[in-house]
A and B are shown apart, each in its own frame.
Chain A
Amino acid sequence: MKSRILLAVILLATVACNKSRPYDDVDPETLKPSGSEDTRPSYSFEGEIADDRCRFVSEQLSLHYDDAGIIFSSEKSAGTTIYRAIGLATGNSAELFMNETDEPRLLVNGTEIKIKSAVKEHENEKGAWIHIQTPDYKHIVFVVTDL
């Protein structure tokens, strides 16, 4: 009988201890439902900068200068720089409009693609290495160099 009373006391003490501990010192991250962690793999543009070949690489379309018949160009018009890659055999195209004041715009095969950002990660006298991110965190690489 004594041992039963002792067990009840221990249990009550345990519950009392738990109740006395608020969640103040709990890391909120641990309170997120399981599976909601940001699982995006880290991304580095460094490798792209090391490669100075003209290219447009996205999930939807890839155009590489080394494949014949792809025009890579840049054009300046009224404060806007337009970078283009156009496949002559297919008509597939990528066009990026960048200027100081407006949001950048990307057109793939003539259709505007929603983008979150377009940043010149590197620029020199040879050209520009542009990192484009889409709202769903896809990465697009547009390198227009040596023109």
Chain B
Amino acid sequence: MQISRTTLIAPLALTIILTAQADVVDDYATGRSGEALKATLSRHCRPSVAIDSDIIAESLVMLQDKGGNPLDGLTGRPLHDLDFAAVTYIVPLEWMNPVPTFRKEASTDLNNMLLTDGATAIDRGQLPLGDSTDNIDCVTPPPSLKGDIARAVFYIATLYPCELWGSWGRSIFDNTAYPTLRKEWSEMYMRWHQDDPVDEQERRRDEMTRTLQGNSNPFVTHPDLADYLWGEKAGAVYKPSAKPDNPDSPDTPGGATPPGDIDETPTPLRECYDSSDTYVYLYSPYVPDNVSWTVDGTPASGRIEVASLSTGRHELRYSSPTAKGKLIITVRQ
């Protein structure tokens, strides 16, 4: 395999899509929990471009946007000779074979791939990446890569929840829409995720991946999501953390001007509010910009203090020359 950085740019330039991606996670996932939260991520965080299989290896080199030799994705050691490098799938495609609904899409998804030494790839075969147990032999990456791999597994479990898994996949995943990851494995990957948090290198890789295939790994841009799906907050309603985790993609919806403090990020409308919420923001990705709002028949704009609303149900309406809509929100103690 001949891989040269200088030859990468030309073919890849045709496939690079530079899109300003609004923070779809906070826009759509806010207010959802469990299966609905996972389904939302699956719906809104998919790749928009299939990477040509001929340039996958080159793309993986590009993702390691750094000086010197690229690092082996399984061992963390420098890859001195790219001629002997190989592409390995974090979640092997063979595991998706019994019902290959997602196999084609997953086969070009850079978020599921690593560049590794050919010999290492052969040694690994289809073994799971994990901590070995009495029952299963695993390939265990160094601590500095464990979090990266855990977040990739979360991504696969979210975007490609197979109806039936083959090989070792049956031990790691179940055939449910949620949680999809079996408990002992989700606990292990959550430990990896917490012990090796997202670092600058992983963020850069994710940003480059988004440039190439049009999507980020939401568990890299919003690390707290994993906790809402498989961690201590599992089942709780997702609320974005106060500070966006990705400084390059601040959690401000496109076109909207946050009311009040300039650093304030409006959270989208949701079904229910309580005393832990300060404001109801009159904003939703499902509502066009520049509409006029009323709350219980009274004109309103920007945001409303939750404390100013009585406990119970409130009707919100919006209108513009071309759009009209309404919904009920509830306020609890």
Contacts and interface: CB of A to CB of B under 8 A. Distances in A.
B287 A74 contact: no
B32 A73 contact: no
A133 B319 CA distance: 30
Interface in B280-298: 284, 286-288
- Counting chain B CB atoms within 10 Å of each CB, the highest count among A54, A69, A76, A88 belongs to A88
Contacts of A84: 286, 325
B140 interface: no
Given A76-B322, A86-B286, A70 B40 contact: no
B31 interface: yes
Given A74-B324, A89-B270, A91-B28, A68 B36 contact: no
A74 B325 contact: yes
B contact patch SS: mixed
B269 A88 contact: yes
A71 B323 contact: no
A70 B269 CA distance: 11
Nearest to B35: A90
A108 B324 CA distance: 20
B313 interface: yes
Interface residues of B, number: 30
Contacts, number: 85
Given A90-B32, A91-B28, A91-B40, A71 B286 contact: yes
A69 B313 CA distance: 10
Given A68-B271, A68-B313, A75-B322, A91 B327 contact: no
Contacts of A5: none
B32 A69 contact: no
A72 B330 contact: no
B322 A72 contact: no
Contact of B284 (A71, A72, A74, A92): A71
B119 interface: no
Interface string B315-333: 0010100111111111000
Given A90-B32, A147-B324, A69 B272 contact: yes
B326 A71 contact: yes
A90 to B, nearest CB: 4
Contact of B327 (A71, A74, A146): A71
Contacts of B329: 68-69
B42 to A, nearest CB: 10
Given A65-B327, A68-B329, A68-B330, 13 more contacts: A65-B326, A68-B271, A68-B313, A69-B329, A73-B287, A73-B324, A73-B325, A74-B323, A75-B288, A88-B270, A90-B39, A91-B32, A147-B317
Interface of A: 54, 65-77, 84, 86, 88-92, 109-110, 146-147
18 contacts: A65-B328, A68-B272, A68-B313, A68-B330, A70-B328, A71-B327, A73-B287, A73-B325, A74-B325, A88-B284, A89-B36, A90-B36, A90-B39, A91-B28, A91-B39, A146-B326, A147-B317, A147-B319
